[in-house]
Amino acid sequence: GAVVSQHPSRVICKSGTSVKIECRSLDFQATTMFWYRQFPKQSLMLMATSNEGSKATYEQGVEKDKFLINHASLTLSTLTVTSAHPEDSSFYICSARDPGRDYGYTFGSGTRLTVV
Judged by CB under 8 A, the stretch of 12-20, 72-80, 82-90, 106-114 that binds another protein is 106-114
Measured distance CA(36)–CA(108) in Å, rounded: 10
Q: Work out how close the CB of 109 gets to another protein at its nearest, in angstroms, rounded to a whole number.
A: 5
Choices 12-20, 63-71, 77-85, 90-98; region in contact with another protein by CB under 8 A:
90-98
Instruction: Based on the shown chain and the rule CB under 8 A, indicate whether residue 49 belongs to the binding site for another protein.
Output: yes
Nearer residue to another protein within complex by CB, 49 or 89:
49
Partners of residue 80 on adjacent β-strands: 20, 68
- Footprint of another protein on 57-76 (CB under 8 A): 59-60
CA 69, CA 13: separation in Å to the nearest integer?
19
**What minimum distance in Å lies between the beta carbon of 22 and another protein?**
14
Let me know: does 32 contact 48? Beta carbons within 8 Å: no
Question: Which residues contribute to the site for another protein (CB under 8 A)?
Answer: 4, 6, 32, 34, 36, 41-46, 49, 59-60, 91, 93, 95, 97, 102-103, 105-110, 112
